[in-house]
Structure 1
Amino acid sequence: MENNLTYSPNGDYLIPDLTIAEQPEAMGKYGRMRKNYLKEHRPTLYNSLLLSEKLYPHLLEIDRTANSRIERMMPELMKSAGVTESLKAADPMRWVGLMNNLKAQAEETILAELIYN
C-alpha cells in the first residue's frame, strides 16, 4: 500500500503534513451551529467530512438551506398569526414581539430538522 503523505518530525513522532484548501465563501450562523454540533456530538462524521474536504461544502449547503427555509416559512407564519403591515403601523411594539416569536418558532423548526439531525 503506497502512502503519498509527507511527515514532519516532532520529537520522537512523525506528524502528517495535512492541509485543508482555503474556503472562499464565509459561513453563516447555521453552518457554524452545524459544525459545532458535528464536532461535539458526531465526531466520527465530523472527522470523515473534514479529512475528505467535504465538511465546508456540507456546512455551506446547510447554511443556505436553513436561510432559504426560514425565508419561506416566515410569510406563512405571519399570515397564520395575523401579522400585517397595518398592525405594524398601528401597534409597532406588538408587531415586533410577534415577529420575534415567529422568527424563534421558524428557527426552532430549522434547528430540529437540519442542524441537530
Structure 2
Amino acid sequence: MTENGIQYTLDERTQTYLPDLELPQQKEIGKYGLMRRTFLMNNRKGTYQAMLLKGTLNSHLTEIDETASRRLSEILPKMAKEAGATEELKATDQMAWVGMMNSLKAQAEEIIISELIYS
C-alpha cells in the first residue's frame, strides 16, 4: 500500500501497516571520526544531540576523518624531510628511521587532533 508517497507493508502479526523505511548508505567512520564522536559526546553534548537529531552527525564524522587523514598525508612527508628521515637513512639504519618516523607521526597526529578533533 502507498500513501503520501510512502510505501507501507502489512505486518501479519499485529495487522497494522508499517512504513518501509531504509537508511541511506553510509561510509564507515575511521579512527579520527570516532575520536571526534567521543569528544562531542563527552564535551559538546548539545552539539552532539543536535547533529544526531538532524541526521548530520555521520556526515560530519566522515568529513573529519577524511580531512584528518588527508592532513596527515600532507604533514608527515614535510616533517620527515625536515627531520632528515631520508631513504638513505632507511637503507643504512632501519631502526633509527622507524623510530624517527614513529615519533614524527605521533607529532603530526597531535597537531591534527588539536586542530580538528578537539576544536
Count how many residue pairs are aligned between Structure 1 and Structure 2. 99
Aligned counterparts of 2:91 and 2:42: Cα–Cα separation in 1: 45
Deviation at 1:23, TM superposition (A): 4.5
Pairing partner for 2:31 from 29, 32, 42 = 29
- The whole-number CA distance in structure 2 between the counterparts of 1:41 and 1:89 is 45
What's the offset of the Cα at 1:24?
2.6
Q: Which runs of 5+ in 2 are unaligned?
A: 1-20
Deviations 1:25-44 (A, max 9, x none): 11000000000000000000
CA-based RMSD: 1.5
Using the alignment, how far apart are the partners of 1:38 and 1:110 within structure 2? 16
Which of 69, 77, 99 is 2:79 aligned to? 77
Q: Which runs of 5+ in 1 are unaligned?
A: 1-18
2:102 alignment partner in structure 1 = 100
Q: TM-score, normalised by structure 2?
A: 0.80
TM-superposed deviation, 1:20: 9.1
1:36 & 1:20 partners in 2: Cα distance? 26
Secondary structure of 2:26's counterpart equals coil
Q: C-alpha distance in 1, partners of 2:80/2:22? A: 43
1:36-90 CA-partner distances (Å, limit 9, x unpaired):
0000000000000000000000000000000000000011001110010010010
The residue aligned with 1:49 is: 51
Aligned pair partner of 2:116 in 103, 114, 117: 114
Structure 1 segments (4+ residues) deviating >2 Å: 19-24
| Aligned residue number for residue 61 of structure 1 | 63
Partner of 2:5: none
State the identity %. 49
